Amino acid sequence: MTQTHLRVFLVAPRGFCAGVQMAIDCLEQTVSGSPNPIYAYHRIVHNNVVVESFQRRGVVFVDDIASVPEGATVVLSAHGVAPKVYERAGKNKLQVVDATCPLVTKVHQEARQFAAAGFSVVLLGHRGHDEVVGIEGEAPGCIQTIASCDEIDRLHIPDPDRVAVLTQTTLSVDDSRVMLAELKTRFPNLRVPPKEDICYATQNRQEALRSVLEDCQLALILGSGSSSNAQRLRELATRLGVASHLIEGSEQIDLRWFTRVHSMALTAGASVPEGHVEEVLSWLALHFDLQVDHKVVKTELVNFIRPAIRARSFSPTLDAGCPA
C-alpha cells in the first residue's frame, strides 16, 4: 500500500532555551554531586518527562519550601520565586541552588524598582503561573496581574500618571502587544522597561512557527500542558487558522488529525528535549511518505552560567512605596 505523502516543516529555534538548559544542568550537577536527597522547589521546568526522570533518581519536588528538611539542599525552579521563599529557606538553613532564569530575574528587579518608586505595577501574565506568583511576591499589594484587555477596567490605579507595566517572559507576543497598546491609550505616561520582558526564546519560537503556518494545514507542538510558552505556540497556530495540537509524545497523536493534510509544522516548547522531536519524526516516518523541510529562522547562541550552591540570606518583601 502506498503511503500518503506528508511534508513536515521542522522549525527552529525549538526546544530547550538557555534558561531551561541552565536549570536542568543545575539540578543534574547537584544530584550527581551529593549522596543525600536533593529537593526541588516547584517543577524544575514545565515538562513532565524531564521532571519524572529526576524523580526516578530520587529528587523530591515540593510546592512548599517549609516541607524541605532543615539543612537540606534545594534547587529553585527556572520560573523564579517570591522573596518569602528565600526567607523561609534562610530560616531553615537550606543550601540553595537558585536556578531562576536570568531573564525572569530581570523582571523581578524591575518589579522592585517600580514599586519602590511608588508606581502602580501592571503585570501582563497568567495568574497562578509559577513565574507570575514569584514576580507578584516582590511587591505584594503593588502588582496587579491581567491576562486580557477586558481586565484593564478592573485595575485600581490611584495615580494614572504613575503606572508601569511588566510582562511574563513566556507570554504571547501578539497578546502582549495588544494589551500594551491599550494600556498606553488609557495611561499616556505609562512606564515600560528599557528592554522588553518577553524573552528571546519565546519570541523566536513564535516567529519560527509563524513563518511556516501559511503553508500548513496542521501544527503539532511538543510540550506539557503546564508549559506557558508551549501553550502560546498552540494558540498562535489556532489563531492563524491552522489546526493545532499540544502533545508530549507520539503516543498522543491521532491519525484522524491528518485527514486532508498535505503539509504540517512541527516544533517544541522551550522545556522539551530534542529527543522528543526526533521520536515524533520517527513515528511520522512510519505512517507517511515523509518529506522534512528544515526552517531555521534564527540561531540561538545564548548561554547562562550555572549558579553555585549557597545559603540564601533573607530578602524582605517590599511593603513600602506602593500607591495607596
Same CATH topology for 5-16+200-296 and 103-198: the answer is yes
Q: What is the DSSP letter of 186?
A: H
Q: What are phi and psi of 74, to 5 degrees?
A: -130, 135
Query: What is the CATH topology of the domain spanning 103-198?
Result: Cobalt-precorrin-4 Transmethylase; domain 1 (3.40.1010)
Task: Render each residue's pLDDT in the chain as its tens digit; 324 residues.
Answer: 568 999 999 999 999 999 999 999 999 999 998 889 999 999 999 999 999 999 999 999 999 999 999 999 999 999 999 999 999 999 999 999 999 999 999 999 999 999 999 999 999 999 999 999 999 999 988 999 999 999 999 999 999 999 999 999 999 999 999 999 999 999 999 999 988 899 999 999 999 999 999 999 999 999 999 999 999 999 999 999 999 999 999 999 999 999 999 999 999 999 999 999 999 999 999 999 999 999 999 999 888 887 765 544 444 444 445 665
The Cα 171–Cα 228 span in angstroms is 7
Q: Is residue 53 exposed (0-12), middle (13-18) or buried (19+ Cβ within 10 Å)? A: middle
Cis peptide before 13 (omega within 30 of 0): yes
Q: Is residue 200 exposed (0-12), middle (13-18) or buried (19+ Cβ within 10 Å)? A: middle
- What pLDDT is attached to residue 308? 66
Non-local CB neighbours of 90 within 8 Å, separated by 6+ positions: 311, 312, 313, 314
CATH top class, domain 5-16+200-296: alpha beta
Domain layout of the chain by residue ranges: 5-16+200-296, 18-100, 103-198
The Cα 302–Cα 319 span in angstroms is 35
The Cα 118–Cα 123 span in angstroms is 15
- What pLDDT is attached to residue 41? 96
Report, in this order, helix, strand and coil percent for the chain, each rounded to 5. Answer: 40, 20, 40
CB 221 within 8 A of CB 247: yes
Q: Does 18-100 carry CATH code 3.40.50.300?
A: no
Q: Is 131 a catalytic residue?
A: yes
Q: Which is catalytic among the residues 110, 131, 136, 248?
A: 131
